[in-house]
Structure 1
């Protein structure tokens, strides 16, 4: 058996220094048998030692000290052996190899630092552009000494820069695709050693209906820009109006940018590989984000200015009268057309800019940094190439839940079961909304009396109150019915970590609803002597319904059926169908009736023309987009929450 002996140390000498008067460490001696075993394999010795012997040794203080000292000696031996091994490796590989490794590490760290610097600078660049885009239009309105449209060159720079970035990405894509086609033609098939270009899985930002709505909003934005382009040719013949050729070039460039941006984001974004041009992609995407935000602010300020001028023509306010003299907005044909159509078209520009800015920001976040090259990447590449055929098959064919035959993925099928009653109830809501619209436009026509306008506002408030009360009850009942479904939330859905792109847009748009509801509640409360109580109740229930519906969408987005019984009964689907149609009705009301500041005459009197017009034009476009996007999100829940996935391992699971 191995033994560890402790030699007696001599007594301390009185002539030694003070720090040596303490007990010196015990001197360790090893037997020949123990020394040979430690030299061979220390781990085997430790494992072979009986626990009873170790415990018995630890009970004696001298033996415990000896064991700890022995362990320290062995750790020291391992350290020196490691040093000798590193030195031998250095001698084998040579100094040049180690210098090359250090140089590669320094180069990699330098790349990481450069990329983090480009991220910071691109974000600061976008922030600077947004601040300038907000400062220029506001300065033009506040100061009477500034000529109108002096900042058109700045917006021209934004539009041309965005078009140049998209053109560059198209050029690189065409170049790479052409080179790849030449290589494929030269190789003539898959020969040994030929590496085919790997096609990454396409990333879609937002649902299909969001992209479809964004294209529709882009068309409305192009119509708005076209009307501004035509108005220039009418204003340049008027001597009293200050016109500039940039007033025609800027809207035309904006139309071209809208068309190019729709193509870039929603149609062919999957074809561009932004990671190959990381620095240019980061600055270009941030430039496009700033362009959309500046366009949002510009349209917001312009339409606020137009409505203040319109109100100034009907009032005797000195500020409005001076602004009317500065700007020549009215004309025989194009001027009046822009004035009448802009309340319906400028929300399209704001909603389109909002969607594009959020999607471009998601694309900017997806631009990756430098990858670490290691053995795992090779293994991942092998697995990716091996699964490439399976991906092609699964992309082309989709297997329905209960049918064994494959169907083409281009076929679009919708199961409309358990939805007819909600649809018929929603049709009744649409009919009620159309009747209220007809009554509103008849009673609130130009030249009508103030009493008829008050009746029109009261009639709209009653219809809104009925809608909000019914939809609030429906949302609460639907929340309780869908609580039985499984909450299946997956991280990283739709290219991001969090609540998802569609839900992010919904939460951002809800800010407009909050702003409009809060200011309307305050205005109605302090103007109750001149306004009916129905307006106050309508705004309160609008706020409550908005909060509950957003909670319902954020929760129901991740709900899935647990079993076949839920897939058959579809709890809550009738109510979701009704909410889809009801939100369409509320979107129509906000778009056609409440988008003007003069809709609430009592609020104009309470807040003032300037303040209430600014509040309306900031909040109402977001409120309109909230109703539109709520319809999209509810339809996505209606379509996907009641499906059973075809990739279940056991398709014949229990019904209960």
Structure 2
């Protein structure tokens, strides 16, 4: 353009306009102007091109050309801050977007309100002497009944749609038979976007935890049958609540992992959003209720033991709130004596007391898994895409269509995994023996310190071997390349969130052990401090390894043959099962942590463990699921088409 200006100035005044016309003609040839919505208003306000050169306000000829070129983009180059706004939407479309945003926000607020109520009711019932049993059990009945009504609506809609599809398919088959006569009919295959949320390993774990939760609810119902027929002894909600909970667990399990419901949820988006959020709140409220109940039972059991009650009450951490502790201790003991008077037998009550520390974590695990799956469903309903692609352990597993048989065939390639398998089996056997020894020796007063010491050494050994395995695996898996379009998925984010439970538990344990190093009456605080440090290091390295290996894939035949780090992945898989059993036992028995119990007191330490240990146990389970996915998917090499 500068070259054009120089030539234009060098020509006589009578010929200068021709060069401007040539410049504009060149622009029009290269970029022909077409009327669009964006430049109609700008073009309407501009003077004719023939009069531009006579207007003194338009400057040089080069600026004229640039203005004409810039007018196609709907803005002036001399004032680039002036943009034309986006096109206006129709009123109906705008109202639709507003209603969708409103329902999404209201469903989230509704879920949050239910969660806050689910946290407040059991705490108020535990701390207050005047709150009746029906104060919060009616709230849980509301949660279960509304969730089951939503599930009934989903199933009825699916059955109706299935009946319609059957009639249409039958009519189509009849018409096809009449049209072709005796000729062989071509078999048509209906391909629906069916799928199941969750991998095979996740579904099996959810089924196992669901069975444990139903057993726990069955024992609660049996505990009601032991109550005597006296005034104030029998509360019908004690029988109705566990019964409805068992029905809710099995129906929800069917809904999450078996049924094909995505198309129906998309059709009834408003109902689905509120229904799914209600089910999420129900599962989280069940988790909070179990945490509050187990914390209260643990405190009651310690106060029932006169030796523990004296030791804990004399501790400095408890004397700070001595009046509050004494009042609630009296209320708890009065409630316990009233329950014992109402019992006719102690069979189911004893079973419930013995099994509760082991079965209640199953309820927590089942509730956590269900909440995550339901959140993935809710997020899918809130999107406008028809086919949302999910990957990972909590993803929507869409089975491939088959032409003949409908059964699924599973193939497992165990190459380069046997060494890690046998090594991890030895570690698992060593852990089981240590836990059995602990359960036997801890019951005797003279051997209790030895039992605690040997199980701490076992846990320290597990964390040390897990740390070394993670370091070697991170080094070897660098040979594999990253998959394209990788991003943080729900699996990795959930793993990082669950790891906070381990951080909370190990940090409080390390602080208590460090501050009691000079206390000679404490039992091996150095071992506890070292174990907590190794636990933090091992969980951190394992999380980094899983997040890194999640998106690596075999891309060459050499990688597919060597399968780098697969032996270590196999070892970490079963080692996490061993760590899960240890953490599961720690959440069930307070004898595991005598140093922390003496330092923080029964109330504080019970709250810390009941909040952190379920997340820690879930971290071990979810790590096992993620390692299974890595073991299965990372070392599969997809054949590339030959050009």
Work out whether the TM-score is over 0.5.
yes
- Confirm or deny: 8 A CA contact 2:157 2:264 kept in the other structure: no
- Return the offset for 1:130: 0.5
Consecutive unaligned residues of structure 2, counting only runs of 5 or more, are: 1-6, 33-54, 74-86, 180-187, 314-325, 388-397
- Confirm or deny: 8 A CA contact 1:396 1:408 kept in the other structure: yes
- Confirm or deny: 8 A CA contact 1:430 1:582 kept in the other structure: yes
Aligned residue number for residue 324 of structure 1 = 333
Hey, what's the Cα distance between the residues in 1 that align with 2:31 and 2:276?
Answer: 62
Q: 1:455 to 1:36 in 2, by over 3 A?
A: closer
Q: 1:128 to 1:78 in 2, by over 3 A?
A: closer
- Return the offset for 1:226: 1.1
Hey, what's the Cα distance between the residues in 1 that align with 2:475 and 2:162?
Answer: 53
Aligned residue number for residue 460 of structure 1 = 455
Q: TM-score, normalised by structure 1?
A: 0.76
Aligned counterparts, 1:461-476, within 5 A: 461-476=456-471
Hey, what's the Cα distance between the residues in 2 that align with 1:535 and 1:74?
Answer: 77
Hey, what's the Cα distance between the residues in 1 that align with 2:399 and 2:494?
Answer: 33
Hey, what's the Cα distance between the residues in 1 that align with 2:27 and 2:529?
Answer: 84
- Return the offset for 1:198: 7.7
Q: Does 1:526 align with 2:515?
A: yes
Aligned residue number for residue 340 of structure 1 = 354
Q: TM-score, normalised by structure 2?
A: 0.78
Aligned residue number for residue 226 of structure 1 = 218
After superposition, the CA RMSD in angstroms is 3.8
Consecutive unaligned residues of structure 1, counting only runs of 5 or more, are: 6-25, 48-60, 80-100, 372-376, 381-391, 398-405, 492-497, 652-656
- Return the offset for 1:455: 1.1
Hey, what's the Cα distance between the residues in 2 that align with 1:305 and 1:114?
Answer: 44
- Confirm or deny: 8 A CA contact 2:580 2:617 kept in the other structure: yes
- Return the offset for 1:181: 2.3
Hey, what's the Cα distance between the residues in 2 that align with 1:590 and 1:466?
Answer: 14
Q: 1:128 to 1:74 in 2, by over 3 A?
A: closer
- Return the offset for 1:248: 1.1
Residue number among 574, 577, 590 corresponding to 1:584 in the alignment = 577
Question: Per-residue CA shift, 1:147-180, capped at 9, x if unaligned?
Answer: 2352111110000011011110111111122223
Q: 1:70 to 1:523 in 2, by over 3 A?
A: closer
Q: 1:270 to 1:199 in 2, by over 3 A?
A: farther
- Return the offset for 1:595: 2.7
Q: Does 1:538 align with 2:528?
A: no
Aligned residue number for residue 98 of structure 2 = 113
Residue number among 503, 506, 527 corresponding to 2:495 in the alignment = 506
Residue number among 590, 595, 600 corresponding to 1:602 in the alignment = 595
Hey, what's the Cα distance between the residues in 2 that align with 1:542 and 1:349?
Answer: 25
Aligned counterparts, 1:567-582, within 5 A: 567-582=560-575
Indicate the SS of the match to 2:197. Answer: coil
Question: Per-residue CA shift, 1:383-440, capped at 9, x if unaligned?
Answer: xxxxxxxxx996338xxxxxxxx99982211111211211121122122112212211
Hey, what's the Cα distance between the residues in 1 that align with 2:30 and 2:258?
Answer: 69
- Return the offset for 1:77: 12
- Confirm or deny: 8 A CA contact 2:357 2:587 kept in the other structure: no
- Return the offset for 1:489: 4.9
Aligned residue number for residue 401 of structure 1 = none
Aligned counterparts, 1:184-203, within 5 A: 184-188=169-173, 200-203=192-195
Q: 1:408 to 1:366 in 2, by over 3 A?
A: closer
- Confirm or deny: 8 A CA contact 2:300 2:332 kept in the other structure: yes
Aligned residue number for residue 485 of structure 1 = 480
Aligned residue number for residue 618 of structure 1 = 611
Residue number among 348, 352, 358 corresponding to 2:366 in the alignment = 352
- Confirm or deny: 8 A CA contact 2:198 2:257 kept in the other structure: no
- Return the offset for 1:218: 0.8
Larger radius of gyration: 1
- Return the offset for 1:518: 0.9
Hey, what's the Cα distance between the residues in 2 that align with 1:37 and 1:320?
Answer: 95
Hey, what's the Cα distance between the residues in 2 that align with 1:29 and 1:490?
Answer: 56
Question: Per-residue CA shift, 1:563-602, capped at 9, x if unaligned?
Answer: 1111111111111111112111111222235532232122
Aligned residue number for residue 411 of structure 2 = 413
Q: Does 1:560 align with 2:556?
A: no
- Return the offset for 1:62: 9.3
Hey, what's the Cα distance between the residues in 2 that align with 1:325 and 1:370?
Answer: 57
- Confirm or deny: 8 A CA contact 1:169 1:272 kept in the other structure: no
Q: Does 1:237 align with 2:251?
A: no
Residue number among 113, 118, 131 corresponding to 2:116 in the alignment = 131
